Structure 1
Amino acid sequence: MFTKLRIGITAKLFAAIFSTCLLVVATMHLGVRLSFEHGFIDYIKKGNEQRLVMLSDALSDQYEQHGNWDFLRHNNKLVFQILHSLEQNPDASTHLPPHGWRTPFWVIDQQYHVMIGPRGPIPPEGTRRNITTSDGHIVGWVIGSPPERLTRSADINFEQQQKRTSWIIVGLTMLLAALVTWLMSRGLLAPVKRLVEGTHRLAAGDFSSRVQASSRDELGRLGQDFNRLAGTLEKNESMRRAFMADISHELRTPLAILRGELEAIQDSVRQLTPASIVSLQGEVATLTKLVDDVHQLSLSDEGALAYRKCKTDLVPLLEVVASNFTSRFSAHGLTLTLRLPEQAPLFGDPDRLMQLMTNLIENSLRYTDAGGGLTISVSSQPGQRTVQFEDTPPGITDEQRQQIFARFYRAESSRNRASGGSGLGLAICQNIVEAHDGSIMADHADAGGVKITVHLPYHDN
């Protein structure tokens, strides 16, 4: 069986560039050869035409001196002496090519009798120059054979030498083109090979894979995008593992409590009383809240939460949410203060915005010491609405401020889960704000607590 030959991209690129070089060099060589051959023939033809004119003028002078052609008939030596003298003492304005005639010529009289020339027939397409006396009578002609091809051995040798030289140049050019093409193909495809190797490692689960992306061209930008993709995948994988660890940790505690309570009742260590039932219901409520928060977070991560945006107003929304917390704040010895304008129109989902405010107020209620309070204010800037939640101590450190919106993070690890919640509320808040194209950040409050600032875009139209 024959194995199908697989040609790599390096070989394909080399073949494409090298074949293009071959085509260019071959075309140039053919063009130069044709130009040389035709140019050399034209060069010889022009020289012969100049000699025909000069010879006809010289023979005209000789004819007037002798009165007839008897001095010339079959006197080849005289003709070549005349040509030699013309080449030795040419007219200053006439530049003849060297080495004399390249083609046969004939001298005929007015009766068309051949006086000088080969025995062969006179070509009808040959170049003809009149031999004219001073009174204008034509007494003969000088006819030159058209130089369709080279006949002299010196010219043929020169042409062959030029051909050999041109082929040597072509060979050296192709070797140079092959070397340059090979180096170019390797250099151009080096980033592609790095991307291929990086992609293979990434597909195998090695999310730490990175490629060198130092160039500023399209391949460089592709390498940068690959590194960003690998970084995102690595971060998501780390978050997934941390999320699963946190979920198992959060579920383990209430389940252990439930199991211990039920085993104690089953072994008659504890009696099934209304108090024990309330305790069990409390752990079930903790589990239910955790599952609900995880579900809400997963929906908001996927963008699956239903957002029905419309023209709404932040002021009445805050007033409704704050009224639901008034009694609870009083029971904890806390104050809830609203600093709201008359109206703060906004385009958004009223239900999700109320969920956002509820989570932020709930977070402040859980973590603010008794005797303090929470102040909510709304302000407007060009193109956005700003909502601030400022509470009193305890505050957070700079390190905690960077992690406060992380999943399952609690600013005070000593708090139990009953008071501290699932640690997913602020993560859900961040997703809701980003779904409204806004931003949320945490900072130190002037009163010593935490200041949560929410920026929501708003356009008058």
Structure 2
Amino acid sequence: MWRLGFGLVFLMFFGGAACIGSLWIFGLLSRPEPDVRLLPWVALAAGLVFLAALVPGLRVLALPLRDLIDAAGRVEAGDLSARVPERGPRELRALARAFNAMLDRLKANERQRRRLLADVTHELRTPVAVIQGNLEAMLDGVYPADEGHLAPVLEETRVLSRLIDDLRTLSLAESGALELNREATDLAVLAGEVVAAFRSQASAAGVTLHSEVRDDLPLVEIDPLRLREVLANLTANGLRHTASGGSVRITGRLDPSGKKVELSVVDTGRGIPPEDLPHIFDRFYKSADSPGSGLGLSIARNLVALHGGDIRAESSPGVGTTIRFHLPLSVGAA
């Protein structure tokens, strides 16, 4: 006896995380038992429908990939303004965001490179011009090549040498390629050495220079050569901006947390204008009347950061400036 029955198949097709289509297959059967002879034809029909539905899904994937390929080609040609639209499945949107973030960093690095090139060119121009002018004058017989005229030339070569050394240190520190030779260090002794190195300069300028770093501070795991450079840069900066009769002092104490030490260089100089204060750690940033290269504070910030510390400045015009930084007592304690 023949009886009628029915069969129902429901298929959904996805492109990435989105549903791009569905298929309902409904049919009458001559008897409730399945006819195995029909199965290959049903499978073939379902396969053809699946392939037809897959084409829009492939398009959903292909368009974001085409965007990425086009943007990569523009970057290869030197266009860092290229950006990839964030569309398509979630994974491709995340890839587009990462690609755009990479381009933002590349563009920022390129701006920094050009600014550095311009700054270095500006800083080199003055000493090179002085050396060239003096040597040409001596060769032309304008004045003799004696000690009085050769001394300024020698001093300008020292300026160039310091600038080159500073640029190298700063470049290594910013790139993370500067290796620290850490050892347990007595900060009171280190500060005393810096004071001794600048004592004659301070005396000649009529400025009092002394250390107030506590003798009972625990030893700190640092690179003493690099930290001496930090204190030397800060001390030189304080002496440079402090008039006769003023003072510069180095202080040090244990942070209230007990995990860090706090070092400060305090001067009674003319202070820093509020509009300049946020920029004093920027490379080559200096006031119009400052004789320095504008690298000392930037080097200090990067060296402190390499030690896992932080640095900040407080200043009041006409009162003085305090530059304070913290260092962890040991590696990994920050």
CA contact (8 A) 2:279 2:285 kept: yes
Deviations 1:24-72 (A, max 9, x none): 98xx97xx98x94662589xxxxxxxxxxxxxxxxxxxxxxxxxxxxxx
In 2, Cα distance between the equivalents of 1:324 and 1:444? Answer: 25
Deviations 1:203-252 (A, max 9, x none): 22222333344899443443333233212211111111111122122112
Equivalent runs, 1:98-117 vs 2, <5 Å: none
Q: Which of 288, 293, 297 matches 2:166? A: 293
Deviations 1:82-102 (A, max 9, x none): xxxxxxxxxxxxxxxxxxxxx
Q: Which residue does 2:9 correspond to in 1?
A: none
In 1, Cα distance between the equivalents of 2:75 and 2:66? Answer: 14
**2:209 corresponds to 1:326:** no
- The structural deviation recorded for 1:378 is 1.9
In 2, Cα distance between the equivalents of 1:384 and 1:347? Answer: 11
Tell me the number of residue pairs that the alignment of Structure 1 and Structure 2 aligns. 308
Q: Which residue does 1:174 correspond to in 2?
A: 49
CA contact (8 A) 1:198 1:210 kept: yes
* Equivalent AA in structure 2 for residue 312 of structure 1: T
Q: Which of 161, 170, 180 matches 1:307? A: 180
Deviations 1:110-167 (A, max 9, x none): xxxxxxxxxxxxxxxxxxxxxxxxxxxxxxxxxxxxxxx9xxxxxxxxxxxxx8xx97
Flag structure 1 segments of 5+ consecutive residues without an equivalent: 1-15, 43-148, 150-162
**2:313 corresponds to 1:442:** yes
- The structural deviation recorded for 1:257 is 1.1
- The Cα RMSD (Å) is 3.7
| 1:335–1:174 Cα change, 3 Å | same
**2:239 corresponds to 1:365:** yes
Does 1 or 2 have the higher relative contact order (CA < 8 Å, sep 6+)? 2
CA contact (8 A) 2:273 2:317 kept: no
In 2, Cα distance between the equivalents of 1:187 and 1:41? Answer: 38
- The structural deviation recorded for 1:355 is 1.3
User: Is the partner of 2:324 in helix, strand or coil?
Assistant: strand
CA contact (8 A) 1:430 1:440 kept: yes
Deviations 1:287-342 (A, max 9, x none): 22112222222333344434211222322211221222122212212222433222
Equivalent runs, 1:149-188 vs 2, <5 Å: 174=49, 178-179=52-53, 181-188=54-61
| 1:269–1:348 Cα change, 3 Å | same
CA contact (8 A) 2:85 2:96 kept: yes
* Equivalent AA in structure 1 for residue 303 of structure 2: I
User: Is the partner of 2:276 in helix, strand or coil?
Assistant: helix
Greater strand share, 1 or 2? 2
CA contact (8 A) 1:356 1:429 kept: yes
Q: Which of 385, 390, 399 matches 2:266? A: 390
Q: Which of 93, 109, 134 matches 1:236? A: 109
Equivalent runs, 1:339-350 vs 2, <5 Å: 339-341=212-214, 342-350=216-224
**2:281 corresponds to 1:405:** yes
In 2, Cα distance between the equivalents of 1:217 and 1:337? Answer: 62
Q: Which residue does 2:8 correspond to in 1?
A: none
CA contact (8 A) 1:293 1:422 kept: no
- The structural deviation recorded for 1:275 is 0.9
- What is the TM-score of this pair, normalised by structure 1? 0.58
User: Is the partner of 1:397 in helix, strand or coil?
Assistant: coil
CA contact (8 A) 1:389 1:452 kept: yes
**2:302 corresponds to 1:428:** no
* Equivalent AA in structure 1 for residue 49 of structure 2: M
Q: Which residue does 1:202 correspond to in 2?
A: 75
In 2, Cα distance between the equivalents of 1:248 and 1:41? Answer: 86
Farther off after superposition, 219-228 or 243-252:
219-228
Greater helix share, 1 or 2? 1
Larger radius of gyration: 1
In 1, Cα distance between the equivalents of 2:47 and 2:316? Answer: 78
Equivalent runs, 1:31-42 vs 2, <5 Å: 36=29, 39-40=32-33
| 1:379–1:227 Cα change, 3 Å | farther
- The structural deviation recorded for 1:261 is 0.9
Q: Which of 284, 289, 303 matches 1:414? A: 289
CA contact (8 A) 2:270 2:317 kept: no
User: Is the partner of 2:95 in helix, strand or coil?
Assistant: helix
| 1:360–1:222 Cα change, 3 Å | farther
| 1:368–1:229 Cα change, 3 Å | farther
- The structural deviation recorded for 1:260 is 1.1
CA contact (8 A) 1:308 1:348 kept: yes
* Equivalent AA in structure 2 for residue 396 of structure 1: I
